[in-house]
Structures are given as C-alpha cells and as structure tokens.
Structure 1
C-alpha cells in the first residue's frame, strides 16, 4: 500500500483553498472516501472517470481500490497535488486540465467502458448528469454513475410520482436506468462546510424501451414540468401532437405532470414516435 501524506498536509503545502466560484468543497475523511469508492463495486483494473478531483481526496480512494483513473480538473492550482498522485500510483492516474462540460468523455476514455465516480462541483453537477443520461445510443459507454449532489437534487433524481421532488430529473434518470440513493453525507464532512446536506446517487443503465426517442422524451418532460402547476393540456401545447396523444395512451389531459408515472411518459414519447 502506498504511504501517502495526510490530505490536509498536501493542501497546506500547495496553499490550496476551496473555490466558491468553482463549487468546490473538500472531503478529508479517508474512511468516508473509501466507502464512496466502494459503491460501484470491485474497481480493480477498471477504468474510472472522475470529474473535479480537486486535491485528490476521492482520487486516492479510487486508486487504492485499484482503479485506473482519468481525472478532469479545471482548477490549475490542484494539478501539482494530482501530479504527486500520478507519481505515487504509476500508470493508474491520468490528470487532465480542462472543462468537463466541453470534453467528449467517451473519446477521452478511448472507447473503453468506464464507471463515473465524482464529488461533482455543485455548479455543473446537474448539467453533467443530464448529459450522461441523454442520447439515442444505449446502453451508454459508462457502466455506472456514482455521484455526489446536494441532497435536494439527489432526492429529485430518485423520487416517485406524486411527491414534491418528482420531476424531469426523476423521469430522465429512471426511464432506462435504475437510480438509488446510496449514501447521505453530512455537511460537516466537508471543508468548508456547505450550507446544505449532500447525498450520493448510484445509477446503472437498464434496457431502453423500444420505439422511444430520448430526444422526444426530453422534450416532453421539459414542457410538462416547465409548467408543472398547469394541466397537461396547457403545459404540453408547445409539443406538436402531445395533447392529442394523451387520449391514445389513456391519460386525462386535465392531470398534472407530477401525477404521471415514468411509464406514462415513456408511452407518450412512443405515441409521438
């Protein structure tokens, strides 16, 4: 086992501090980080993509678990600390400076299946998550997503119809994937402590329903939940043919979006073909 200096010492030596502008919050608890790295299962020899590693707390845990990690970091201040990890784990870590929103992850990973494990920066977490869930090609190149979110966002992802948290994120995460709440993380675990609690969501891809376009489903959910307090006959007017299609699948147009199950949205997208 590689003998690494405490992460706090590394941060102090490099003069690092969490950037609010980059949505950073550092985790120091090694046991907690090891538990997070264990959520996807056995990572020995597996390819892992990490977004926003910062000084490398979670990166350490992934490397200790035997993963081959590709880490994308846009904060140049953190690169020297990550370079030290590259030296400590030869051939296991590739740290890349860049914006994860502008990089083709599949191309970066060389076409190889990979797990995504990340304590996502709060300011880009949801956008990245939606991008991983999108696209017509399925199953995706990623084998699982293990992601830290604000607890409120995590609850939206795993929520069920009829609840206040249920919305577009839930449908997009659940229509061809299984999403679960893997762990809650208290705000006191972070430095500096965020104002909100956090939670880790674990997502694995399922079979894609036949005859359904991901783009159509995304369009429907954006319209339906964009005006969630309105009846479907009003909120879906912007989607050609959607209101008429409600009758063909047996859904009353006076209902509201949060009362429809994921299967209802799938049926509506299929009807619009």
Structure 2
C-alpha cells in the first residue's frame, strides 16, 4: 500500500513495468505519492469535475487526482509502455479513469470530457509551452477549462507570472495574464524527480477569468505582442515598423512612448495598442 490508495508504491510500479524515463519524450517521473497528491490539491476542489491530464507516465499524479475526488480523469499518454500501469489504476478506480494512447497535440480531448473541466499535468518538457499557448488562445472565451494546474521548468513558470520590467516578462506572461489569474503555487527541486533534471521545476495554477482583463481583438493582440518581443531590444517604433505605417502615432495614441521597449509596456498598454491598430486598419 502506498498511503493514498491500495496500489503499490510508484518505485515498484516502475520496476515491474521497466519504465525507464525517456529523454526523447521529455519524461521525468515523480515517485513521491505524497508530493503528487499535494500537486493535485493545488488544483482546488475537484469534486464533480472531469480532469484532463497530459503525460501521466506511471500515474503518480493520476492517483493523486483520483484520490482527491476528481469525478473522472482523462489521461493522454504517448508512451505505450505506461499503459499497463495506468490500466491497474483504472481497475482500482472503476469508471473514473479513461486512458487514451496518443499525442496530446493531436487528440481531441474535449470529445471525451464533460464540463466542468480542469486540466492538471506534469507536462512533458518538450511540449509544455506549446500546449499552454493553445489552451490560452482558444477561438472563444471563456475556454472549455476552468483552471490549469501545470508543472513546468522553473524558468518557464517565472515567464508566465512575470511583471513588466523583468527579463522574464514577455509573450507568455501577456497571454496568460490577459485572460487568467496566474500564480506559482509550488516549487520542486531536481531531486524530486527520476531521473533528476538539470533545473528546478514549479507548479503554476491559472484560473480562467470570465472575460479578458482589457478589451482587444485576440489575433491583433497576439500579433502586436509577438512582433514587439521578437525584437525586444529594439525601441517599439522600430520593432513594430511593419505593423502599420503610422505606428508612432498609434503608440502615442495608446499612451506608449515610441522609444520604449516591449518589456517596459504593461498588459493594459499592449491591449490599448491592439485596439488602436485594429481601428486604424
């Protein structure tokens, strides 16, 4: 028994199924079930909720989510070696765990979920940022999920919660903070994982806001932000030159000095600029 359920400890599960973590899949396994349960608790009250989990591996977080009362967990796993271990969990929690073998970037998870929906995952390092951007930029808002509880490399987590004027401040911070309330809720040292990565990790909890903090057309805002930070060392009048022939006037109209650089402009300023650009077009 492991302490959170009647299943064996993760170290034994990994040994029994020969689950050596693969670098090519961005795998680093958390073996401490008390820790995975703690991560699951950061997602809030899961009672009555479907939870989407990406890259469950041997199922440490999966077990935490189920033990914490998730109505149902949909786990998408690319590594077929992990399926027998996940099948054991499914048998221990009848009707509450569905496992899909596949690439999370290609699977239509929403077809298998019933609202309300939360997303919780120790994301594989190689697809974590891409998945987050997808979840933050859906065609419609509010999104299908109510919250995201995600583990990233510490550096990525800091980029999500960064403030203007900091080196970490950029596109990820703006996309996240425009439509969510984001905070780092847990930090984990390398030695918490097997194998130990070279960097620390952190769990970020993002709660979807009912509406964006400031009005702006999503596609225009994304374009403005991407151009501004692609050349973040340049003044905005130069970095955004290709956006509109009257970009200096539009910057001033938005309350932004044309000589400022992207990292100096707060979210509200970028939204004002996106509105000005959209109107000028």
Matched-pair contact (CA < 8 Å) for 1:135–1:215: no
Matched-pair contact (CA < 8 Å) for 1:136–1:213: no
1:162–1:78: structure 2 CA closer, same or farther, 3 Å change rule?
same
**What corresponds to 1:239 in structure 2?**
243
Moved over 6 A (4+): none
Matched-pair contact (CA < 8 Å) for 2:255–2:269: no
**What corresponds to 1:39 in structure 2?**
42
Matched-pair contact (CA < 8 Å) for 1:136–1:215: no
Alignment equivalent of 1:7, drawn from 7, 10, 13: 10
SS of 2:241's equivalent?
coil
**What corresponds to 1:250 in structure 2?**
255
**What corresponds to 1:55 in structure 2?**
58
Alignment equivalent of 1:222, drawn from 222, 226, 229: 226
Stretches of structure 2 that go unaligned for 5 or more consecutive residues are: none
**What corresponds to 2:110 in structure 1?**
106
**What corresponds to 2:81 in structure 1?**
77
Matched-pair contact (CA < 8 Å) for 1:52–1:118: yes
Deviates more, 1:96-105 or 1:188-197: 96-105
1:209–1:164: structure 2 CA closer, same or farther, 3 Å change rule?
closer
> Could you give the per-residue CA deviations for residues 2-27 of structure 1, whole angstroms, max 9, x where no partner exists?
41111111111111110100000000
1:145–1:95: structure 2 CA closer, same or farther, 3 Å change rule?
same
Alignment equivalent of 2:147, drawn from 141, 144, 147: 144
Using the alignment, how far apart are the partners of 2:205 and 2:275 within structure 1?
Answer: 27
**What corresponds to 2:208 in structure 1?**
205
> Could you give the per-residue CA deviations for residues 9-50 of structure 1, whole angstroms, max 9, x where no partner exists?
111111111010000000011111111000121112311000
How far 1:211 sits from its partner (Å)? 4.3
- The TM-score with structure 2 as length reference comes to 0.93
How far 1:216 sits from its partner (Å)? 1.1
RMSD: 1.4
Aligned length: 272
